[in-house]
Each structure stands twice: as C-alpha cells, then as structure tokens.
Amino acid sequence: MAIISELVKGIYRENPVFRLALGLCPTLAVSTSIENAIGMGAATTFVLLGSNIIVSLLIILFAKILSEEGQKSINKIRIPVFIVVIASFVTVVEMVMSAYFPALSESLGIFIPLIVVNCIILGRAEGFASKNPLLPSIADAIGMGIGFTLALSAIALLREILGSGAILGYSIMGESYKPVLLFILPPGAFLVIGIYMALLNWLDARKKQS
Amino acid sequence: MKNIIRLSVVLTIVTVVAAWLLAEIYSVTKPKIEIQKLAKTHKALDYVLPQAKLLVPVTSQVPVMNNKGDTLFERQVIQYYKAYADTDTTHLIGYAFKAEGTGYSSLIETMVGIDTTGHITSIKIISQKETPGLGALSENNEAFNGKRWSTNQFDGKTSNDLKVDKDGGEIVSITGATITSRSITNSIRLEMEKLLPRLGITPAKNSKES
C-alpha cells in the first residue's frame, strides 16, 4: 500500500511543477507544444528512474561499508556525489542513445542536455531516494515522472492553443486566428503556471472549507 | 583532519569511477555515433540535391598544428561535394556543402545544395540542439507560406539575399529565436561567399535576375 501511495503522490498531491515548484526552468522552455511536453516528460521519467535507483543503491552501499561515524561525515558531500552520479548517468544515456537508437535520439536528443539541469532529478535524489529503500524510490521516480509529464502537457495544451492556435501541431483555430505570441515565449509559461497553481490552491481551499 | 581526508578520498573515488565509466562508454559508442552521423549526412545530401546520381567530395589538406606552430600532420577535410546528373562526371548539376554556425545554445550544421549558377536548391539542418519549441523549430521544412520560418524559404536564393528580416533582409526568422535564425542564415551566406569565387561563379552570374 505504501508503495502505491508513493507512486500516486507525484501526480496530484506532490506534483513536481505545481506543488513542489521543481524543474520550472525546463518547464518554461519545453511546454510550448504538447509534442515537446510528452518527449521531455518521457526522457525525464527515464533519467529520474535511473538516478533514483543509483542513489538509493549508493546509500545502501555506504551503509554496508562505512561505520556510523563515517556515514555521518559522508553526509556532508552527498550533494556533489549526487551531481556526479546524475551527470554521468545522463551523459551515458545520451551517448548510448545516439549510437544505438538514432530514431529515439532524433526525437528525444534535444531534451537530454536540459535534463542535467533539471532540479527535479537532484530534488528527488536528495529529498527521497537518499532516505528511502530501493522499491519506494522506484515508485517515487515513476510517479514524479508521470506528474511532471502531465503538468507539462497541461501547460503545453493552453500555450499551444493560445500561442499557435493548434493542438499537437494540427491547426484548430482557423486561418483568421492571430496567435498570441506571448504564450510561446517564457513569460507566457509563467502566466499559465500561475493560473494552474491558483486553480489547484483554490480547489484545495474549497475542499478544506466543506 | 581525519574527516577531511576521508571526504576527499570518497569524493575522489566516486569521480574517478564516473570518469572511467564515461571514458569506456565513450570509446565504445564513438565509432557507432560517427556511422550514424555519416548516414545522416548522406540523407541530407540526398535531400538537398535529389537529382544527383553521383557526388564527388572535394577535399583539401588541413594542417594540424601544435601550440608552437609546427605542423604535426595533415588532415583531409571535405570542403564541398560536386553533384553530377549521371553516374559519370560529364554533366555537372550543382554543389553541396556544409555550413556551420553557433546558435543560441549549440553548433548548428546545415547542408546546403546549390546549382551551377549559385542559387540554393534546398537546405537541410543536419544537427542542432537549440531550445525545444523555439530554436529547435529551425528544422521545420513544411511548405513556406511567407509568414513562418521554413527551410524551404531558402530555395532559389543567392548569397546576396541571405539576411534575416530583423537585419533588413527577407528571410522570415523563427518567432522568439532570432539568434538561431540569424546564425543559420549568416553561416550559409559566409560559406557561399567563400565558396562561390572558388567555383568560378561570378557575382554577375549570381544576380537575382539570372
């Protein structure tokens, strides 16, 4: 049961973008169209899964080979260690993908360099995987990945309709529609994220009252 | 003191292992990535000069020097390709070359095909890692409608026409990604200005009316 709750929490209750406000930088860049949102979401979920697994295993390894006092002092350098682990993992994924899966690399390749600086990855490694065993860490990664993808898609839906008059690249607003350029640019993303956050908070507040 | 030594030892081990792993995977994937790149170049050549049956690369020796200025060895670099309509070299129909420019966040490589009078037949972006949703739209090659960036808008242009609208030219730049548009346009122009005199295509022949 606990595993399922770890999985579900990332989707609504602790949604990385709307609740934790993590990974806003790639969110601004990539949520201009639904196609990009899904691509970025899939790539992030994959890297998140890998980094959560490695960090979780690394902590178990440290617990096995180090004394209690040693573990305490190692704690001071956990962040640089996580950064090295995540950056290496992302680079390995990028190299393997462009060598063996050219089609995949073509569609996801441009998102990979953005993932290195995606603070969701470091946030979950530090906030969850380093304090929890392997299985919950995997569930957390998948849940957070899905939550991130859904949030990106929700933002992208609004931005694509307003900013390009299209959904998934298909024009729906007709020829006469003049796209609101602002929504394709980063300020538009801030506006949309703000609107969604306000909406979610309003829903919560209403729930509390009733 | 003991603590500092312990921390540096652990951090050193982690980074050395990560570096070793990256080096190993790099050396394994490097040749595969080169092959994928070559296949991509060939596809791009086919796209920009579809009538060509035979492409002959024209190479030149570029000296590789050390920092003292001594020539270490000479490297063969492909300058451009000569395109022929048949499988022999009787009927020259054009040339193809690669233009490189630094965009907003990456090196953008473009394959350009020109006919024997110096007019662009077609261009194709080979590689770029610009912002998804903005600069990454540079790959768009749908029919050009005069309003949105498409690589098709370069067809039939000569080097004198290559200027983006922000610089007073007629190339429609990508909304929100002027730097990317300008980089592609200028890299093609510079490369053409260098190459056309070498091919014996004079400015008179290279005017708009011809």
pLDDT tens profile B166-210: 888 889 998 878 999 999 999 999 999 989 988 888 754 454 543
pLDDT tens profile A135-156: 999 999 999 999 999 999 999 9
Spell out the residues 6+ positions from residue B112 whose beta carbon is closer than 8 angstroms to its own. B48, B96, B97, B98, B99, B120, B123, B154, B188, B191, B192
Q: What is the pTM of this model?
A: 0.74
Is the interface score ipTM higher than 0.85? Answer: no
What residues in A contact B7, CB-CB < 8 Å?
Answer: 73-74, 76-77
Distances from the Cα of B189 to the Cα of B11, B81, B137, B194, angstroms: 49, 17, 20, 9
What residues in B contact A74, CB-CB < 8 Å?
Answer: 6-7, 10
Q: Are B194 and B148 in contact (CB under 8 A)?
A: no
- Give mean pLDDT, residues A102-123: 80
A106 SS3 class: helix
Work out the burial of residue A44: count CB atoms within 10 Å of its CB; fewer than 13 is exposed, 13-18 middle, 19 or more buried: buried
Residues in B lying within 8 Å of A, measured between beta carbons: 3, 6-7, 10-11, 14-15, 18, 21-22, 25-26, 28-30, 32-33, 36, 39-40, 128-134, 136, 175-176
Q: Are B138 and B180 in contact (CB under 8 A)?
A: yes
The domains of chain A are located at: 2-209
What residues in B contact A109, CB-CB < 8 Å?
Answer: 129
Q: Which of the pair, A25 or B57, is modelled with greater confidence?
A: B57
What residues in A contact B14, CB-CB < 8 Å?
Answer: 81, 84-85
Per the listing, tokens 């990028």 go with A94
Q: Are A35 and B139 in contact (CB under 8 A)?
A: no
Asked if A74 and B7 come within 8 Å (Cβ–Cβ), the reply is yes
Residue A140 has a CB neighbour count (10 Å cut-off) of 25
Residues in A lying within 8 Å of B, measured between beta carbons: 29-33, 36, 39-40, 70, 73-74, 76-77, 80-81, 84-85, 87-88, 91-92, 95-96, 98-100, 102, 109-111, 113-114, 181, 184-185
Tell me: pLDDT of A117 over 80: no
Average pLDDT, chain B: 87
pLDDT tens profile A15-61: 888 988 888 888 887 888 888 888 888 888 988 999 999 999 988 88
Q: Which range has the worst mean pLDDT, A100-104, B112-116, B163-167, B204-208?
A: B204-208
- Shortest distance, CA A131 to any CA of chain B (angstroms): 19
The domains of chain B are located at: 51-199
Q: What pLDDT was estimated at residue A52?
A: 93
The residue of B9, B16, B30, B33 whose CB has the most chain A CBs within 10 angstroms, and thus the best one to mutate to test that interface, is B33
Q: What pLDDT was estimated at residue B210?
A: 39
Asked if A95 and B39 come within 8 Å (Cβ–Cβ), the reply is no
Asked if A77 and B7 come within 8 Å (Cβ–Cβ), the reply is yes
Q: Are strands A170-171 and B71-84 parallel, antiparallel or unpaired?
A: unpaired
Asked if B36 and A99 come within 8 Å (Cβ–Cβ), the reply is yes
Asked if A73 and B6 come within 8 Å (Cβ–Cβ), the reply is yes
Asked if A95 and B29 come within 8 Å (Cβ–Cβ), the reply is yes
Q: Whole-angstrom Cα distance, residue A100 to residue B29? A: 8
Tell me: pLDDT of B21 over 70: yes
